[in-house]
Amino acid sequence: MDETPILLQLRSALSEQMISHSKESNSKAKSLLDTLIKDEIPLDLIESCDLLERACASGNLPVVMSLCDYVDFFVYRSFALVLALRSGHSDVARWLIEHEGVDLLAPIQRPAQMSVMLPPDTTFTRSALTKSSTYLFLNPLDPTPSSFILRPYTGFEQLLGSTYSTEFDMQKAAEAIHEIVGDGLVDATVFVDIFRAYVVCAARKFRDRRSIQDLQEGEICLKEASFMLRLHETQLDKSAFGDERLYDILASLIVPRCPEEIYFFMAYLAPEVFLAKLTELEWLQEEIESILPLVPILKPSSVPEHNATLLGILSKFNRIDEVKLLEDWSDCIDEQGWDRAIEFACEREYVEMSTYLLFCKMQHAKTGLTSVHPVDDLQNILLL
């Protein structure tokens, strides 16, 4: 179908609004859409989706509302929500979710009956970004619509017609997301996926460190991820604030060359996750320079074995100052943990470390927390 002049003008007006952010452009686009509706100019499946996405990207809520009222059926609306959030238009995003029921991770809608053939899925899903299957979080690095909220415009967002884009501002995008998730407007799965997008984006920004802007954007991502994690832990109604998959995603980020900022984030907000991975990963146990700065901010795990792992590593590397920071962890380390740490120190002939660990073990024995054999332990030390 040949495109009408009014449609071309409407696209142009929305693109202009993205650049100028002027009320005049807002009114101009709405007036053109009113004319299109009055003349009952039909829109095909791709044209309607493209217009919706342009209107959301420009933040023109009146056009979005009128367009949704005029178009009977949108095959795909999730990327329109992506663009509203990317551009920082929380009012548009809120309206799409509350009034249109738009789901960020929704697949293509397939009507039971339609007189025309649907275009290929990839036309609307941006190469199958939506993953409604159980494999959504199998690989946290896989992109989803949530990932694209945090990415700049490329100039190739259009489904057809002229290009449109604007400067990307991570802070504005984060503020829009903050409002939406803070008000509980998304379900648990979308909440987890947005959290995933934040921490993965932060990890990449801090790993690459190509510019000051990268570091600033990484900090914004971690700040918002922190906000979301606290929401999950403090809200009584968990249905809109994520689930245990949040911690699974954090665990999956601990890989070789993991940025120190990610380690600090986990040590402060998810120490159970970090200590569990520390117990699991032998290569991480050798990364003593990454571990040492975390000791002052770590809190003990509910699993004594995980706490004992940290104690053993510090003993093995003869880090007595850091071991002393674990004095408050005494109730959270079992007898086997103390014995193993003492054994490590004895094997390496760390006399001061061995003596200190033995003293700690005997102190806890007085409270009945451990059953020690001080004579045997002293003999081990004297053999050094």
Give the orientation angle of helix 260-269 with respect to helix 212-234, to 10 degrees: 20
- Helices and strands, number each (H, E), in the chain: 21, 0
pLDDT at 382: 38
pLDDT at 294: 97
pLDDT at 205: 96
- The model carries a pTM of 0.90
pLDDT at 366: 60
363 lies in some domain: yes
Chain centroid offset of residue 254 CA: 14
Both tokens of residue 238? 């968990």
pLDDT at 3: 74
Nearest to 329 by CA among 306, 348, 345, 356: 306
* Distance from C-alpha of 52 to C-alpha of 84, rounded to nearest angstrom: 10
pLDDT at 334: 87
- pLDDT < 70: residue spans in the chain: 1-2, 22-25, 112-116, 127, 131-134, 364-384
202 lies in some domain: no
67 lies in some domain: no
Residue 365: which domain range? 279-384
pLDDT at 52: 97
Q: Is 88 left (phi over 0), alpha (psi -120 to 50) or beta?
A: left
50 lies in some domain: no
96 lies in some domain: no
Residue 108 and residue 124 in contact, taking contact as beta carbons nearer than 8 Å: yes
DSSP letter assigned to residue 239: G
What's the number of domains the chain is made of?
Answer: 1
379 lies in some domain: yes
Residue 9 and residue 63 in contact, taking contact as beta carbons nearer than 8 Å: no
| Residue 198 burial (C-beta neighbours within 10 Å; 0-12, 13-18, 19+) | buried
Amino acid 271 reads: P
49 lies in some domain: no
144 lies in some domain: no
* Distance from C-alpha of 370 to C-alpha of 366, rounded to nearest angstrom: 8
